[in-house]
Structure 1
Amino acid sequence: MQTNNEKDTLISLRKLSANDDYYNIVFKKTERISSAVFYILSYIEINDRTKVHYTYLSDKAMALHEVVITTLNLFEYEVRDKIFPLQQALVVMESALTIATAARVVTNDITESIKVEIDTVLRYIRNHYSHQDQMVSRIDSPTNTSSVRQRRSRPSIPKNDFSSDAVLVYSDLRDRTTRIKTVLEAKPEATIKDLSEIITDVSTKTIQRDLNGLIASGEVIRQGERRWSKYSILK
C-alpha cells in the first residue's frame, strides 16, 4: 500500500496535461477566451481608429494561447513557481479588452462575458497554485518525498482595491519597477496618474523616480513633457 508521501510524489511528477481539472478549467477555458477574441476581431472593420486595438488584441490573444499551451508541459511540483506568465497574460488580455471597450471598438456586453471567464481561470489558479500568505505544504522536487511547510509572504493589496490588475500586481510582484513594467505592458502610453491608480502603495514622486530609472536603462520611453507625459515599454 502506498503511503501519503508516495502518493504526493507521484502527483508531483504528473504533468498538468494529465490533470483533468487543470485541463478543463484552465486550459480549455483559456483556449476559448483566445478563440472568442479572434472571433470578435473577425467582425471589426479595420480603419485608422480601430487598427491599433485590433493589432493589440490579436497579439495578446495569440500570446495568451501560446502561454497556456506551454503550461501543459509543467510538472505539478513546479507549477507554483512557473504559473505567473499565464496569470500575467490573462490580466493583460482583460486590460486590452477594457481599453478596446472604452474606445468603442468592442461592446461592453462582450467584454464583460469574457472577463467572467478570465476571472474564473484566475481564481482557480490563485486558489490551487499561487503562493499564499499562509503555511502551505508542497514538494520542492521529485526527489524530495517529504512535505515541506513553508511560509510565503506577499505585499498586501491596497484597501478597497479589488481589481484583477491590483490583485495580480500586488500578490505576485515584489519589485516595484517590475510592477510598473507590467502595468505599462497592459496599458501602453500610460500617464503617471494611470500608474498611481494601480500602484497605490507609493507616492507619485516615487513612481516618477522609478520611471526615470527605467528610461535611463532603455526599458521605457517617454512621450510629451511634464503633466502630459506618457510612458510605454520600449519594444
Structure 2
Amino acid sequence: MRKGHRPSSPAPGRPRIWGRHPVLAALANPNRDVRRIWGTQEALAGLDIDKAIPVTYAQGPDLGRLVPNDAPHQGMVIEVDPLPDIWLGDLLDLGRDDQRPLVVLDQVTDPHNVGAIMRSAVAFGALGLITQDRHSPPESGALARSASGALEQLPWVRVVNLARALDEIAEANYWRIGLTGDAPQTLETALGTSKLALVLGSEGEGMRANTEAHCDALARLPISADVESLNVSNAAAIALYAASVRK
C-alpha cells in the first residue's frame, strides 16, 4: 500500500472487522465469507489463510486509514460478507432439549453494548441473541471488536416483530423475564426452573410497554440505592451469571 494512499471505502453491505480476536474468529468461522485481508507481515505471519482470499500487506498507519478514527486494528483488517440470516424457529428447535437461556434485546442500538452483551452471552453459555431488525445495529467493526470474537459464535436472530417473537418463545416453553428497575421482585426470586428468555430494554427508555406485556415476569437487579441503573451490557452479564448458577 503506497505511503499516503487512502484506501477505498468498504464495499456496500460488507463490513470491515479489525483486531486480532475478531479477525481470527471470523477466519475460523465456516459460516463467514471473508472477501479481503489487509495486515502487517508480523500480524499475519503463521496464519492459515485460504489462498482464494486476496491479502494486502501494509504498515500500521496505512491500516489505520481502513478503520474509523484509527481504531485499534492490531495489525489486521478484513472485509466480510454479513453472516447468513438465522430464523427464530430454527434457534428454538436447537434449544428444544437445551437449558441454555435466550437473550432478547428491545431496541438496544449501541453496537458497543450489543457486542459486549454477545461476549457475556457466549461466556455464560447462552443459546442465542434475538433483536428487532429495525432497532438494532448492523454487523460492524465496532460491534465485532466489542464482542471480541463472540459475533462469530453466538446465533443472532433478527425479527420484524418483537412481541410476536416473544409469543413464539413462550410457545417453546421459555419463561420470559423482563429486567426493569421498577419491578417489585428481584431476579433471583423470578428465575424459576424453566428454560429462560432474559429480556432487556434500551438505556434511558428501557423496555417498551408492549414488550413488558409479553413477559411472564418482571424483575430487577438488587443494586444499591446510590446507583440509579446499570449499563444494559452490565445488567445482561449479571443476569446471565444468575441464570447459569441457579439451582
TM-score range, shorter chain: under 0.3
- How does the TM-score come out when normalised to structure 2? 0.23
By percentage of residues, which structure has more helix?
1
With normalisation by structure 1, the TM-score equals 0.24
